[in-house]
Amino acid sequence: MVVAAEAAKFALSEVRWGLLASGGGMFRLPRRLPRNVANQMLFTSGALSARRCYDLGLVNELAEAEEVLPRAVAMAEAVAANGPLAVRLTRQAIEETALLDERASWERSRRLVARNFASSDAMEGPRAFAGKRMPVWTGA
């Protein structure tokens, strides 16, 4: 998740210097942006504005420079308030199914859901909801 300052610019300038975007940009960027936009960034070393990245879905929120950190912290706190095992397994599902077909994604998802349902957190969440209280997560 990305919170960016309105004035920020995003670029991968490696090719300008005869290098490759070896930190994953060559395969990650085309997965996150329309191919033609990723190609433009990777081939020209040109920068995109934070607004353009927001419009393309690469940035979640735009903020004034002094508000970037507080907004990012608020986003992190919102994640941290949720069931840690559920967050961890959701992230695992996203990563592991990114390149799988629908059938394989459902199969992998079912295994992760079964693991989650067997956890104490999966029991605590509904109990807390029914009891109108905040859950006490164990991460297990």
Q: How many domains does one find in the chain?
A: 2
Same-domain status, 72 and 32: yes
Neighbours of 27 (CB within 10 A): 9
Instruction: Determine, yes or no, domain membership for 110.
Output: yes
Domain termination site, one of 79, 98, 122: 79
CA-based R_g, the chain, Å: 19
Same-domain status, 94 and 61: no
Helix, strand, coil tally for the chain in percent (to 5): 60, 5, 30
Structural domain boundaries enclosing 61: 3-79
The helix/strand count (H/E) of the chain reads as 7, 4
φ/ψ of residue 47, rounded to 5: -95, 150
Domain termination site, one of 45, 63, 79: 79
- pLDDT tens per residue, range 45-94: 999 999 999 999 999 999 999 999 999 999 999 999 999 999 999 999 99
- pLDDT tens per residue, range 27-53: 999 999 999 999 999 999 999 999 999
Same-domain status, 7 and 67: yes
Instruction: Determine, yes or no, domain membership for 10.
Output: yes
